[in-house]
């Protein structure tokens, strides 16, 4: 394979730049031309491609966002536009494509794979919602950002004897809330994977207060049923405690990637290039039990995530 492409798609995540850097530098090292496609599948359809050299990815390893920019492409949902994208890749002589993104982006990659392009999917999303990999690129940084916020909120929450409901991202997946809950010392977490039990949340707050706790931290994933503003009202009514809602929102997607995210991105990027050199079939690359793994792209996207029940239960034990 002589010419490959790389793009980032969907919501950006810290570590995407580290992945681009690895793909470009490993690709050039293997004697390939590497072309960067701007704004994901949108940029592909608009022909926004440029050849990358080693220095084009200099000084980006530590930066959040993505130097290739990203987009959510409506057009790429329709078969005729996907055909057009395939045609453009063929015209540019790009035989292999590295797609860095979440579930929707890797499904976009699968469409191209089914039209003859070799696609390597890298799990780039803060949500950690891809079942085939233990962790996604950006998740570790997002949770670290949430933890920083939790510590600060805890200070002011204690000073005022308040309850804080902190809403975090994750779309339909509760992993950001779950991991931040365990490592940030939350009283309770509310996750889309679990039946919402507001009574239990209130009970935990009251129990904590009776033991002399000055604050209560509740971490709520954005995908849960009751909207944050309604939830704080219910908690205030039932506990009699002043309760504030803090929505962390896009703050979680920015920032310099942690060591874990840089390493995962770099190792996945290197693996993608190696597989392209070996003329492999299309794959989804990720990490399982500490090892970089590559599964058939179509099969990988069907693999269900495993909910970490033990971690969920541990939150209750630790916050007693």
Residue with tokens 């962790």: 135
Binding footprint of ligand F6P on the chain (CB under 6 A): 11, 72, 102, 125-127, 169-171, 222, 253
**φ/ψ of residue 247, rounded to 5:** -100, 115
Residue 316 is among the residues annotated as catalytic for this protein: no
CB of 172 to ligand F6P, least distance (A): 8
Would you say 138 or 184 has its CB closer to ligand F6P? 138
CB neighbours of 100 closer than 8 A, spacing ≥ 6? 6, 7, 8, 9, 16, 19, 20, 66, 122, 124, 137
Q: Could you give the residue ranges of the DSSP H alpha helices within the chain? A: 16-29, 40-45, 79-91, 103-113, 139-160, 175-184, 198-210, 228-239, 259-277, 297-300, 309-318
Residue with tokens 């690129």: 137
Would you say 126 or 218 has its CB closer to ligand F6P? 126
CB of 253 to ligand F6P, least distance (A): 5
CA–CA gap between residue 149 and residue 247 (Å, rounded):
11
The tokens of 250 are what?
């896009």
CB of 223 to ligand F6P, least distance (A): 8
Would you say 34 or 126 has its CB closer to ligand F6P? 126
CB of 102 to ligand F6P, least distance (A): 5
> Which residue of the set 12, 103, 127, 134 is catalytic?
127
Would you say 11 or 40 has its CB closer to ligand F6P? 11
Q: How far is residue 290 from each of residues 106, 263, 267, measured CA to CA in Å?
A: 22, 11, 11
Please give the positions annotated as active site: 127
């Amino acid at each position: 394979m002589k010419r490959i492409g790389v793009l980032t798609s969907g919501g950006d995540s810290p570590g995407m730049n580290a992945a681009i850097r690895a793909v470009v530098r490993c690709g050039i090292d293997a004697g390939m031309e590497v072309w960067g496609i701007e704004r994901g599948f949108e940029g592909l359809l608009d022909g926004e491609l440029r050849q990358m050299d080693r220095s084009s990815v200099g000084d980006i390893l530590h930066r959040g966002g993505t130097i290739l920019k990203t987009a959510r492409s409506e057009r790429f949902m329709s078969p005729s536009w996907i055909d057009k994208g395939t045609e453009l890749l063929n015209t540019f002589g790009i035989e292999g494509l590295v797609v860095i993104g979440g579930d929707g982006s890797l499904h976009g990659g699968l469409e191209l794979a089914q039209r003859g392009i070799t696609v390597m999917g890298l799990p780039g999303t803060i949500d950690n919602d891809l079942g085939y990999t233990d962790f996604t690129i950006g998740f570790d940084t997002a949770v670290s950002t949430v933890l920083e916020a939790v510590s600060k909120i805890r200070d002011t929450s204690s000073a005022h004897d308040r309850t804080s409901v902190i809403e975090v991202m994750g779309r339909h997946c509760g992993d950001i809330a779950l991991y931040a809950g365990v490592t940030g010392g939350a009283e309770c977490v509310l996750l889309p994977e679990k039946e919402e039990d507001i009574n239990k949340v209130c009970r935990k707050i009251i129990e904590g207060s009776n033991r002399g706790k000055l604050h209560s931290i509740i971490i709520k994933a954005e995908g849960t049923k009751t909207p944050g503003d309604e939830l704080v009202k219910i908690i205030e009514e039932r506990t009699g405690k002043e309760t504030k809602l803090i929505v962390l929102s896009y703050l979680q997607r920015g920032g310099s990637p942690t060591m874990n995210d840089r390493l995962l991105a770099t190792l996945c990027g290197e693996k993608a290039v190696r597989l392209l050199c070996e003329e492999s079939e299309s794959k989804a690359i990720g990490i399982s039990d500490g090892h970089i793994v590559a599964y058939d792209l179509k099969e990988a996207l069907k693999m269900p995530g495993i909910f970490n029940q033990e971690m969920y239960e541990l939150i209750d034990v630790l916050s007693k």
